[in-house]
Amino acid sequence: MVQTRTAPEAPPGPRSSGHPPHAEPPRNPGMPLELDWVEQVRVNRSAVERRAATLGTRRSVKKAWQAGWLLRAISLMDLTTLAGDDTEGRVRRLCAKARRPVRPDLLEALGMADAGLTVAAVCVYHRFVEAAVDALTGSGIPVAAVSTAFPHGLAPMETRLAEIRASVAAGAREIDVVVTRSHVLTGQWTALYDEVRAFRDACGDAHLKTILATGELGTLRNVYRASLVAMMAGADFIKTSTGKEGVNATLPVGLTMVRALREYGEHTGARVGFKPAGGIRTAKDALLWLILMKEEAGDPWLSPHLFRFGASSLLADIERQLEHHVTGRYSAFHRHPLA
């Protein structure tokens, strides 16, 4: 669980294209639930925390290389608005930012004017799916909908499944679902498997991103086991958090989940994506997560097919860092609005 692999070379610099040239992998078909595998999981928390603490010390990314990594981070974002006061106008402005996430003058200075840089997806509540789909027409950017009574996930099962189907019918190509945390906390792995499998079936061709709400699962062992069960049930992505918990995406939790998806891939041959969400606000945060994915999972996971950031304020800080790289000066946050 805590072995460290040799770090490969850094990813391409700022002249690379907006999206890495990795082909989209086949969807995770899932597999029958293997309870023996789930029950034998053990996680050494202190070892995980020591490994996570080295991510920012073992590699330094500076100057043009840092700009390249940050441009890559933009291409991996699920640009998100999940506020109670969301409006259609806000969602449409967010979609406009998703199409052109960085000011044209900065892209020109970075040699990226013709790269077609966009974010990976726009994530909204079901109510705004149709507006987002309309605003993104022709861009190739998919709409992701949070479903299944997000963020608590405690509505009746038929209600949650109906919400998934409605979002898919409205044009969502990705569905972010929340699991019943009590299934994990009480070790009801068959119930968790059946729940996620039902979500997968309701999604049809839309990709399923399963939110584990790791800040509410108690232990890293529970995080690892819940990750395995979700993948066995057919999750295309495993996601840390709703962003509404007291504790959201942390590097030790991320390391635990990435080790789980790596083990699952070694066992089945399937590649499952990973999405940290909640609390990732700065360019420095983004770099640490990219380092984690590169060192622990490998280059294929630096593609939007297999890695996403759940992000809202993150894009503004990355654009500020890119402006500093170009001009040598930092700008105020209000000069980089999202919506």
Q: Would residue 21 count as lying in a domain?
A: no
When divided into structural domains, the chain yields a total of 1
Catalytic residue among 78, 176, 236, 285: 176
Binned at pLDDT 50, 70 and 90, residue 22 comes out as low
Q: Would residue 161 count as lying in a domain?
A: yes
Q: Would residue 211 count as lying in a domain?
A: yes
Q: What is the structure's pLDDT at 252?
A: 98
Catalytic residue among 275, 285, 294, 317: 275
Range of the domain at 313: 35-335
Mean pLDDT, rounded, for 156-171: 98
pLDDT at 18 over 70: no
Whether 318 contacts 286, CB under 8 Å? yes
pLDDT at 17 over 50: no
Catalytic residue among 78, 97, 236, 239: 239
> Which stretches of 254-315 are assigned E, i.e. beta strand?
273-275, 309-311
Q: Would residue 20 count as lying in a domain?
A: no
Mean pLDDT, rounded, for 53-62: 83
What DSSP designation does 253 have? H
Whether 272 contacts 238, CB under 8 Å? yes
Q: Give the burial class of 150: count Cβ atoms within 10 A of its Cβ; 0-12 exposed, 13-18 middle, 19 or more buried.
A: buried
Each residue of 119-137: pLDDT tens digit?
Answer: 999 999 999 999 999 999 9
Question: Is 275 tagged catalytic?
Answer: yes
Binned at pLDDT 50, 70 and 90, residue 16 comes out as very low
Q: What is the structure's pLDDT at 9?
A: 39
Q: Would residue 68 count as lying in a domain?
A: yes
pLDDT at 2 over 90: no
Mean pLDDT, rounded, for 246-252: 95
Q: What is the structure's pLDDT at 26?
A: 95
Question: Is 63 tagged catalytic?
Answer: no
Whether 135 contacts 99, CB under 8 Å? no
Q: Report the CATH number that the domain containing residue 187 is assigned in CATH.
A: 3.20.20.70
Average pLDDT, the chain: 92
Q: What is the structure's pLDDT at 20?
A: 43
pLDDT at 15 over 80: no
∠248-58-2 over CA atoms, to 5°?
Answer: 60
Q: What is the structure's pLDDT at 338?
A: 67
At 265, list the tokens: 């891939």
Question: Is the model more confident about 5 or about 319?
Answer: 319
Q: What is the structure's pLDDT at 311?
A: 86
Binned at pLDDT 50, 70 and 90, residue 141 comes out as very high
Q: Lowest mean pLDDT of 227-236, 249-258, 325-334, name the range.
A: 325-334
Each residue of 256-304: pLDDT tens digit?
Answer: 999 999 999 999 999 999 999 999 999 999 999 999 999 999 999 999 9
Q: Would residue 5 count as lying in a domain?
A: no
pLDDT at 332 over 90: no
Q: Would residue 116 count as lying in a domain?
A: yes
Each residue of 69-100: pLDDT tens digit?
Answer: 999 999 999 999 999 999 999 999 999 999 99
